[in-house]
A = this chain, B = another copy of it.
Amino acid sequence: MDFAATKALFALPEGITYLDGNSLGPLPRTAAARVARTIEAEWGAQLITAWNGAGWMAQPRRLGDRIGRLIGAEPGSVVVGDTLSLKVYQALAAALDLRPERKVILSDSGNFPTDLYMAEGLIRSRGGTHRLVTVAPEDVAGAIGAETAVVMLTEVDYRTGRKHDMAAITARAHDAGALVIWDLAHSAGALPVDLAGAGADFAAGCTYKYLNGGPGAPAFIYVAPRHADRIAPALSGWLGHAAPFDFAPTYRPGAGIERMRVGTPAVLQSAALEAALDIWEGVDMGALRARSIALSERFIAGVEAACPGLGLASPRDPEARGSQVSFRFSEGYAAMQALIARGVIGDFRAPDIMRFGITPLYLGEADIDRAVAVLADVITRDLWKDPAYQTRAAVT
């Protein structure tokens, strides 16, 4: 895999070293033209007939299969649409239906909050008969029990980059009769994922981080083929109906993953995502992972040598990390502002975490070295105390 070649496929701003692709991936060079074509040659010229003529209606499945290849999903088991919060909600509702006698949703304190919030809302809608239990990440496996209906986890922690052992936890859950939902927000495009191999039941993820689908790009959902035809969708929208254009008065779920569709797909966002996925066609996920680890190790070594005041917040074992590196620093917020003002973009998570996404598609050794040098400068010269460096904060 030639990562110098993939870097050339992104429109990266001059003078910027971008280590925030774990929050919003950068712009693929072909995306603007792809979206413009969809707007002008499809929406503009074909109007309503583009739903079939330009393939808009089938696109969520097509894009789903392309993502499926990157996460070890069976063909036909992934569909894109909506947002990650909603896809988690769908998966969770389906999982609870499949384990009606069990009343516990087990998660961990490292899960991204929206997953927990959506679970709260679902539990309330269902009359409060279930409980959401969150434990420390390292205690998840031991907390799975006879009451556990579903284990709902984000594989890679958004703050620290700590990675769960997907295969082991899935096996443990299945041994106990529970199901597992994997949130792949920080996994898809970040590292090899093998949903089918791990025997995962459900998964969901977003496409605007490591996959580079653009701001507001649609989410995706995976349902294991053994479950897909057995679940009754909670969000039973017309495009998940077996025959949407019959306009029948009652819902009849579509075959398999089709029933996880809800409403009209976001066609313009999908065009940008399609351009982003083109880049992934040539990428070997094993090679990407090796490169991610090499760059991460280089970054950690560089920062630890230059900035002894910063503490590594990510696991030291590269196999236990996703594709980000986080450091704790009490003045991390101000330091990140100063870093951004100097053209090195990472982000900050309260109370003290400075996050850096390591994305081999467009980052090389020189970028890592520059980030280390600028960070060292900011820290050793206390630039974060200087109001001139207090730029606006990066979010998400």
Chain A residues proximal to chain B, CB less than 8 Å: 11, 13, 16, 18, 20, 23-24, 26-27, 31-32, 35-36, 39-40, 42-45, 47-53, 56-57, 82-86, 89, 93, 109, 112-114, 116-118, 120-122, 124-127, 134, 206, 208, 214-216, 218-219, 232-239, 241, 245-251, 262-270, 272, 340, 345, 347, 349-350, 392-396
Contacts and interface: CB of A to CB of B under 8 A. Distances in A.
A36 to B, nearest CB: 6
B86 A236 contact: no
B116 A250 contact: yes
Contacts of A214: 39, 43, 267-268
Given A84-B264, A85-B262, 5 more contacts: A35-B268, A113-B248, A114-B239, A118-B237, A268-B268
Contacts of A42: 215
Given A219-B263, A395-B51, A238 B45 contact: no
Q: Which 3 interchain pairs have the tightest Cβ spacing?
A: A83-B263, A121-B236, A114-B238
A289 to B, nearest CB: 24
A264 B269 CA distance: 12
Nearest to A247: B113
A61 B40 CA distance: 27
Given A113-B248, A266-B216, A268-B216, A40 B52 contact: no
A206 to B, nearest CB: 7
Contacts of A23: 48
Number of copies: 2
Contacts of A57: 395
Given A27-B43, A121-B251, A215 B350 contact: no
A237 B89 CA distance: 10
A238 B395 CA distance: 13
A345 B36 CA distance: 23
Contacts of A265: 216
A350 B50 CA distance: 20
A112 B245 CA distance: 11
Given A126-B127, A248-B113, A263-B86, A394 B235 contact: no
Nearest to A120: B251
Given A32-B36, A245-B395, A269 B43 contact: no
8 contacts: A48-B347, A109-B249, A114-B238, A116-B249, A208-B264, A214-B267, A216-B267, A269-B269
Given A13-B45, A32-B36, A49-B394, A118 B235 contact: yes
A44 B24 CA distance: 11
Nearest to A23: B48
A173 to B, nearest CB: 22
A266 to B, nearest CB: 4
B49 A39 contact: no
A263 B113 CA distance: 12
Nearest to A11: B44
Given A121-B233, A268-B215, A345 B208 contact: no
A113 to B, nearest CB: 5
A82 to B, nearest CB: 7
A393 B24 CA distance: 38
Contacts of A126: 125-127
Given A36-B32, A266-B269, A394 B122 contact: no
A163 to B, nearest CB: 19
A315 to B, nearest CB: 20
